[in-house]
Each structure stands twice: as C-alpha cells, then as structure tokens.
C-alpha cells in the first residue's frame, strides 16, 4: 500500500476512544478548551492539602454549547463562578459525577452563556494521587516537610480541576503560599534568588499540556551549573548533584546543534527525595529527578540527557493522548542516544542501545500482542499501568531503523523540521505519518516501504529486519562472562575493574536466570555488588540473587527497597520475592516499613503484587 493508504488504514483501525478525542479524559474539548490557567493556592503541610482557587480562561469552539466538562479526582469543590467579559463573577451550578477508579469524576459546569472564564474554589484530598507529602523524618535533612507533584499521566486532575488531556495546551500563572523558610518551585520561571518568605509567584508563558504542570516545596538549596542551568536539592545533596550534572549545558548545546534552539529559556533540575516513583519527569524548565542517578561518577546521567531531550520531543511536540505515547518517549529515547553520542562518544551510545534492545526484547516476550504495539488500545486501561519499555525502546529502535535507511544527512534535517513544524502542538501517529510521507518518504523513494513502517507501528514484536546494535566493548564482557560461567576464569579475574555501568548491565543481563549460590558468593566477594551505590547495577544484581536463593543479599535488598521508591527499581524486586512463600513474607515485612515513604503510585503497584499468592499456595 502507499503511505497515504497506510495513513487511511491507520485512521480506520485506530482504537475507539471512550471519551471524545482522548480515552482518558472526560473533557468536552470538541466544544471548548482551556487556553490559560491561573492558580492561587496555599500549601498546608499539617493537613496535607492544597487549598484555594483556579481561574480557567476558555476558548469556545462551539458558541451554542454552554456546558464545561472538566476532569477531577477526589477534589472538594466548594463553589464555581462564571467570569464575565467585564470581569464580574457570578456563582453557577455544577455537579460531580460518581467516581471512576481510574478516571476520577467528571465536573459538569452549567454556564448561562459562553463565559470567557470560570473560577473554581477547591481543596485537594490528603490522598491526592498526584501529590506526595513527606514528613521531615522522611527527607535527607530531617528539617522540614516536603511536597511534590507527579501529574503524568492523568494525575493533574487530583490537584487542579482542568482538562487533563495532552491534547490541550495552556499557559499558566500561579501564586503559591507556603510557610516561611520553604522554597516553592514550579514548572515555570523559578527565581534562584527568591526570598524564602512564603509568597511565590510564577509564570509559564509557553503553552504546556496538563501532565507538565508541576509543583514542589521543601528545604531546598540551589547551585548554578551553567548560564541557563541550575540544580535544586536538599542542602545535604545539592553539592553532589551539581557535580554529577555539571555537563548539562554541554548536553543542551549538543541537542541544539542537532534539532534547533532550546525554546524554554532555562533548564533546571530538582533532585527529589528517593521516594520519587520515576527516574525523571520532564517538567519544562524544571526536570524532577530521582537521587538514584547520582552514582558519583556520572555513569547514570543518560537520564538527564533523556529528560532534556523531552524539551524537543514531548514538551515541544506532544502526543495527543497516551495511546500515542511513543511520539513522546520513542523520539526522546532516540534523541537521548544522539546527545549521549555527541557528549560522551559513540562507544557509550552503542552500549546504551545494545542494553536497551536486549531488555525490550526480553520484556516483550512476556507481553500480550496489544501491549507490544507502538499504538496500543488503552481503552479502559490506567495509563500508569500501561507503561513499559515498548514506547521508549521499540519507538527509538524504529527511528534508528529510519535513520540507517535514509542516512543521517537526510534524517537529521527531517527530524529538526518535524520539531519546528509541530512546535507547541499535540499530535497523533497519523499526523506524524503524513509529515513523514511528505518530507522524507516522497523525497527519498524506495528507501523504506509502507509495509515496513506498518510492521513497526501496528504489529507486535520487533520486525525481523530491524538493525541490531553492536558494541565492540561488549565482546570482552561476553568472553569474560562465558569463561567465568564455564569455570575457566575466577570471579576476581574477569577484568571488571575498568568497566562502566553499561558493561556491568550487559554482563548481568547475559547471565542465566539462576546461578548456584557459591557462584554468586564468589562474584559478590570479588566485586562487592551487594550494597553497590549504583542503583541500576544493584537492582539487576538483587533480582538475580532473589531468583537464585542467595539470601546473604537480603539485608541489602531490604535497605535498598526501603530507601528507594522508584517503581522501575523496586517493583521487579517485589515481584521476584512474591514468587515464593518465604520471599512474600519477607517482602511484606519490608513494605510495612517502606510504605510511608512511597509515592501513592508506587504503593498501589506494590500492593497489587503483594496481594497475589505465590504459585505454590494457589489452589
């Protein structure tokens, strides 16, 4: 079929949405959209609430429609006012639908006419899914409480009533009040020299989708790392974090050289407490990052390259809904790899791809056919639970396939033009295909067939003709692993003293699912893997020890799980432990201690794992 046929086929076979335009939003965006948002909120650490009001400026597409439907989850709506063209405000009727466990409650506001704005007074729930409240004891400094948001994918609705869909973009302003001595930060124009007087004001003039709305408050210090970069973190963490991320400006320049100017003015990083459920969150102007990437040797700063890459793919050009998440994460993972290559060299980029390709193949082997698609059917599915390596690594692999077929001399200008053309817009896969057809496929005919593109986008698995990445440095790792497994080489002689993180990941990923305890003990004694400060190495090592019954690592596993709330690192360990009765008992004991410090997203995921009985106990 032609590419235009492929685009039409994609439109006809796309999953049906539960709600207009976005299967995860109640908002009536076909009639009206929010174009600007103004927050006025107080942070109450004692009650674990945000309270105040939000003004939503509206763009009416259908003047005959006077109803406004917004997304909420567990919000206490106190009153709603229609704002007239002259600024006068009038109370109007509203209703909240019954709560859906995934989507929350639709807020229906009845307006006498197409009002230019509404103002909603409300309070959040202490259990808001998008907010993490931490006691002083749960922070590094033990001095002040801490609060931060995590709005992706559909958690913004738990702390602001709004159209919680990436298809809608808005500018915003905010006035946030907090106790004196606290620093408040948002995904906006933060001032490093702002007095800690409890009264903070913010403006975000570039339009963003709701999942990039972000806030944090706590005992935070700041260190400048470049002309447009800084690191915020708790005082005991900030110096180490600033050193770890000192190459950020070099990463920005590398990305700009490839894909055009950085359009968000500043790129600052907030290092959150270890409970943060993700590696990083690409909130514009203020990336939220886990402390688990601070290894002391910059070995894990690829995560910062990833979050920075979102400044082009995701934040600038955004998936219209979460079924098209590969447009955010696949493009970002590809751009991340190009930034790593430009800043740290081809060897590092090659190793990253080899590890990613191996891990996504292994992950997909356990997935349903739908879960393996770049554009899956997510109707009725919580997008948090739909997260996997597929949109990230299969998406990146697809773009790498296109790069190699067309050559960088053609593909790089295409990608830069794509970011320019769709800047500050939200799009779907069909729009990408139309742009690809016009600006790459037609200009270079015969390079890639429509069937090949269709296989990547709409078929499970990895296509048979996918380019397989190789790393010359991994050949020595493979040899050392084989000789050690065969008993030809002692653990202390495998030559890992100069290995970087990716070499360790490749070594561990290539081991059998289980190994004899004495074999693991020898490896551990030689290279001190139990207790390592490298979180990526640690979680793979600990998973192997659990599967193999190497119980000597259990105290370190307990400490690791209690200290870290990043879902990618702790959830597989809980899953491995839960497969045996003894392991499940151990896991539940750990979770009892760890739960207060976990984000609600992590709590929900872990509790689902621990609710299952081990296979040996099922009847």
Residue 307 annotated among the catalytic residues of the structure: yes
> Of the listed 122, 148, 267, 392, which one is catalytic?
392
Residue 186 C-beta-side C-alpha neighbours within 13 Å:
20
Q: Considering just the CA atoms, what is the radius of gyration of the chain in Å?
A: 25
Strands (E), 84-150: 89-91, 94-96, 105-110, 117-123, 131-134, 146-149
Q: Which residues pair with 396 in a beta bridge?
A: none
Contacts of 230 (CB under 8 A, 6+ apart): 192, 222, 223, 224, 266, 268, 269
> Of the listed 94, 172, 234, 307, which one is catalytic?
307
- With 0-12 / 13-18 / 19 or more C-beta atoms within 10 angstroms meaning exposed / middle / buried, residue 12 is exposed
Handedness of CA 492, 493, 496, 498 (dihedral sign): positive
Q: What are 120's two structure tokens?
A: 């909603």
SS (H, E, C) 276-319: CCCCEECCCCEEEECHHHCCCCCCCCHHHHHHHHCCCECCCEEE
Do 307 and 282 contact (CB within 8 A), yes or no? yes
Which residue carries 């090659």 as its tokens?
350
Q: How many CB atoms lie within 10 A of CB 232?
A: 26
Residue 435 annotated among the catalytic residues of the structure: no
- Residue ranges of the binding site for a peptide: 150-152, 277-282, 566-568
Residues found in the chain = 619
Q: Strand order of the sheet with strand 67-72?
A: 67-72, 105-110, 94-96
Q: What is the DSSP string of 492-538?
A: GGS-GGG--HHHHHHHHHTS-S---HHHHHHHHHHH--TT-S-HHHH
Beta strands 267-271 and 286-289: pairing type? parallel
Strands (E), 371-486: 425-427
What is the DSSP secondary structure assignment for residue 162, as one 8-state letter? B
Task: Report, as residue numbers or ranges, the catalytic residues.
Answer: 307, 392
């Amino acid at each position: 079929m032609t590419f235009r046929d492929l685009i039409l086929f994609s439109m006809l076979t796309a999953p049906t949405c539960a709600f207009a335009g976005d299967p995860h939003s109640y908002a009536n965006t076909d009639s009206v959209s929010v174009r600007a948002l103004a927050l006025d909120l107080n942070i109450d650490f004692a009650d674990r609430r945000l309270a105040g009001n939000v003004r939503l400026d509206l763009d009416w597409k259908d003047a005959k429609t006077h109803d406004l439907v917004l997304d909420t989850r567990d919000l206490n709506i106190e009153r709603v006012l229609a704002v007239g063209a002259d600024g006068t405000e009038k109370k109007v009727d509203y209703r909240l639908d019954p709560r859906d466990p995934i989507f929350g409650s639709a807020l229906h506001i009845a307006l006498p006419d197409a009002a230019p704005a509404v103002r909603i007074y409300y309070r959040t729930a202490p259990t808001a899914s998008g907010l993490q409240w931490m006691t002083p004891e749960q922070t590094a400094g033990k001095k002040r409480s801490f609060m931060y948001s995590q709005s992706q994918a559909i958690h913004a609705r738990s702390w602001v009533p709004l159209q919680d869909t990436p298809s809608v973009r808005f500018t915003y302003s905010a006035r946030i009040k907090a106790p004196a001595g606290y620093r408040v930060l948002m995904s906006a124009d933060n001032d490093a020299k702002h007095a800690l007087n409890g009264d903070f004001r913010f403006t975000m003039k570039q339009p963003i989708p709701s999942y990039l709305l972000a806030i944090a408050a706590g005992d935070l210090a700041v260190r400048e790392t470049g002309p447009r970069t800084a690191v915020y973190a708790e005082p005991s963490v900030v110096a180490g974090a600033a050193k770890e991320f000192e190459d950020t400006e070099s990463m920005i320049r590398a990305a700009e050289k490839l894909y055009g100017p950085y359009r968000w003015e500043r790129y600052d990083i907030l290092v959150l407490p270890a409970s943060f459920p993700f590696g990083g969150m690409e909130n514009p102007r203020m990336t939220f990052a886990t402390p688990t990437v601070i290894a002391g040797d910059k070995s894990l700063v690829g995560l910062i390259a990833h979050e920075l890459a979102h400044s082009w793919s995701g934040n600038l050009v955004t998936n219209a809904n979460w079924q098209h998440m590969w447009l955010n994460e696949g493009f970002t993972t590809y751009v991340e790899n190009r930034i790593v290559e430009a800043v740290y060299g081809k060897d590092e980029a090659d190793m990253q791809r080899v590890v990613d390709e191996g891990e996504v193949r292994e992950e997909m082997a356990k997935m349903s056919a739908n879960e393996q698609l770049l554009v899956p059917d997510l109707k009725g599915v919580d997008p948090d639970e739909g997260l996997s390596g597929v949109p990230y690594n299969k998406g990146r692999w697809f773009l790498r396939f296109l790069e190699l077929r067309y050559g960088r001399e053609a593909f790089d200008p295409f990608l830069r033009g794509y970011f320019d053309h769709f800047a500050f817009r939200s799009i779907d896969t069909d729009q990408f295909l139309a742009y690809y057809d016009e600006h790459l496929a037609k200009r270079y005919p015969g390079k890639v067939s429509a069937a090949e593109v269709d296989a990547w986008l709409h078929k499970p698995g990895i296509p048979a003709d996918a380019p397989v990445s190789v790393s010359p440095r991994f050949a020595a790792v493979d040899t050392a692993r084989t000789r050690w497994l065969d008993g030809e080489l002692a653990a202390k002689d495998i030559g890992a003293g100069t290995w970087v993180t990716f070499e360790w990941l490749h070594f561990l990923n290539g081991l059998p699912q289980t190994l004899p305890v004495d074999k693991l003990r020898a490896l551990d004694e030689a290279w001190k893997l139990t207790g390592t400060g490298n979180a990526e190495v640690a979680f793979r090592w600990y998973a192997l020890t659990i599967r193999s019954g190497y119980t000597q690592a259990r105290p370190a596993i307990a400490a690791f799980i209690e200290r870290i709330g990043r879902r990618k690192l702790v959830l597989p360990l809980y899953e491995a432990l839960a497969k045996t009765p003894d392991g499940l008992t151990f896991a539940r004991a750990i979770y009892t201690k760890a739960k207060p410090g976990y984000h609600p997203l992590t709590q929900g995921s872990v509790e689902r794992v621990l609710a299952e009985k081990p296979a040996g106990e099922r009847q």
